[in-house]
Amino acid sequence: MRRGAEVGLERLTFFSDGVFAIAITLLVLPLTDAEIEPGPVGPQLLELLPRMLTFLLSFAVIGRYWTIHHRLFARFDRADARLMTLNLGYLFGIAFLPFPTSLLGGHSASTAAVMLYAANLILIGAFSTAMWAYGYYRGRLTSPDVTPQEARSTLLNGLAPVVSFLPSLLIAPFDPGTAMLSWLLTIPISAGAERLGRQGTGTPQEA
């Protein structure tokens, strides 16, 4: 591997880690900015419960995608301009996530808030999948020891959250609450993708 390629990949991951750190920190701002009036604190904390839940959800989402990003780039040997562009698209979705998170926490029953949040996660998942698909199948940027079965498993696992959140975009205009509940589809769809990807390989990768 060329030294220049190694340095470029290292700088790319360091920059990405910085974006993740900033985004995950910004998630808590709606909670820190909340005003607690003099008097009983319990009822006021209950009013903040939707914000707390969306903070926990988005913290878990960003944490998962940070893990995914590291697993993907651990399999890359080098980076090129197209991979860097796809990575920027991925980081755009990560950096933008605190905004729909704050909307969802303050307007949990809003159709627009639910749709924007779901669309944001679909965007992140799509760019994550695109990075792997390009890096392995077209750019040939991955390590030589990545097998076709491993690549297929990674691709399927990357597509799972995209497929999971798509139905909520269709449901939200009619019933935002049900649309949010449909996000639970991530659990069975991800499990099915993992089982499907495991066929033919004993070491499936997650993406």
Identify any residues that bridge with 76 across adjacent strands, giving them in sequence order: 142
Q: Does a structural domain hold residue 204? A: no
Mean of per-residue pLDDT scores for the chain = 84
CA distance 60 to 56: 6
H-type alpha helices, the chain: 3-26, 29-32, 42-47, 49-74, 81-96, 98-106, 111-133, 148-171, 176-181, 186-198
Q: Does a structural domain hold residue 189? A: yes
Q: What is the secondary structure of 153-190 as a DSSP string?
A: HHHHHHHHHHHHHHHHHHHTTT-HHHHHHGGGGHHHHH
| Domain that residue 140 falls in | 3-198
Q: Is 156 exposed, middle or buried (0-12, 13-18, 19+ CB in 10 A)?
A: buried
CA distance 66 to 55: 16
CB 114 within 8 Å of CB 180: yes
Q: Does a structural domain hold residue 101? A: yes
More confident residue, 83 or 36: 83
Count of domains for the chain: 1
Tens-place pLDDT, residues 180-201 = 999 988 889 888 888 887 775 4
Q: Does a structural domain hold residue 9? A: yes
Provide the pLDDT confidence category of residue 120 given band limits of 50, 70 and 90: very high
Look at the alpha carbons of 71, 77, 79, 85 in this order and tell me if their dihedral is positive or negative: negative
CA distance 83 to 134: 7
Among the listed ranges 46-60, 64-78, 131-145, which one has the minimum average pLDDT value?
A: 46-60
- At residue 9, the pLDDT reads 87
Q: Does a structural domain hold residue 85? A: yes
Q: Does a structural domain hold residue 205? A: no
Q: Does a structural domain hold residue 203? A: no
- At residue 94, the pLDDT reads 96
pTM of the full structure: 0.83
C-beta neighbour count of 31 within 10 angstroms: 14
Question: Residue 76 — φ and ψ, nearest 5°?
Answer: -90, 140
Q: Does a structural domain hold residue 175? A: yes
Instruction: Check pLDDT > 50 for residue 14.
Output: yes
- At residue 7, the pLDDT reads 47
Provide the pLDDT confidence category of residue 5 given band limits of 50, 70 and 90: very low
Tens-place pLDDT, residues 70-107 = 999 999 998 998 999 999 999 999 999 999 988 887 76
Question: Residue 142 — φ and ψ, nearest 5°?
Answer: -85, 165
